[in-house]
Structure 1
Amino acid sequence: MNKQRDIASFPELFDGMEQFLDEQLLRLKQAGLWSATLAVSGGLVVAWLLERAA
């Protein structure tokens, strides 16, 4: 008995996989953008506070 280990053998299991992956990638990009924005903003605030303290 040959068992196929191919996605094509079980198409019903992977019907929404492409959409799911696209949504996850979009969320990851959004999280990265938020993280970068917060890091830059926080860095600017810290630099400003250090400049004022000096």
Structure 2
Amino acid sequence: MGCKIVEKVPKEVVEYFDMMDDGDTSIPPRFSCESCGAEMYPKDYIGLHGEHYKI
């Protein structure tokens, strides 16, 4: 489940991870939490492929 830490990640970094991910475009770019290792997702992001991710 994770530690629920909220982290501000610059949009350029999210876009970089989005660009480097060749996987499923229905899943937003993911990051690993530095505190607990759980996956982190952007809360509201329009991906490079036009997908709107709102969690």
Per the TM superposition, whether the score is higher than 0.5 is: no
* RCO higher in structure (CA 8 A, sep ≥6): 2
More strand by share: 2
For the pair shown, which has the larger CA radius of gyration, 1 or 2?
A: 1
More helix by share: 1
